[in-house]
Amino acid sequence: TTTLGTIQQQLDRDLFFRVNRGQVINLRYVSSYSKEGSLMVVEMISGHRFVFSRRRSKDFRRRQENLSI
């Protein structure tokens, strides 16, 4: 079987971010993000929303900012 980790290794690390154990998002399709309490909420262009922990939010913000440069 193929795991998400195996698939993630094949993706461009600068463009894809693993928000949790079961989901990877394409950073180019993020429309907005905000902090809600101790959680980070990311909304995609499609309208889908992903919620992840504060621990992952620092890495997410850094990579999202680098993508904008």
- Note the pLDDT tens digit of each residue in 14-65: 999 999 889 999 999 999 999 999 899 999 999 999 999 888 998 999 998 8
> Which pLDDT value is given to residue 54?
83
pLDDT at residue 69 above 70?
no
CB 32, CB 68: distance < 8 Å: no
Other Cβ atoms closer than 10 A to 7? 11
pLDDT attached to residue 67:
84
How far apart (Å, rounded) are the C-alpha atoms in residues 21 and 34? 21
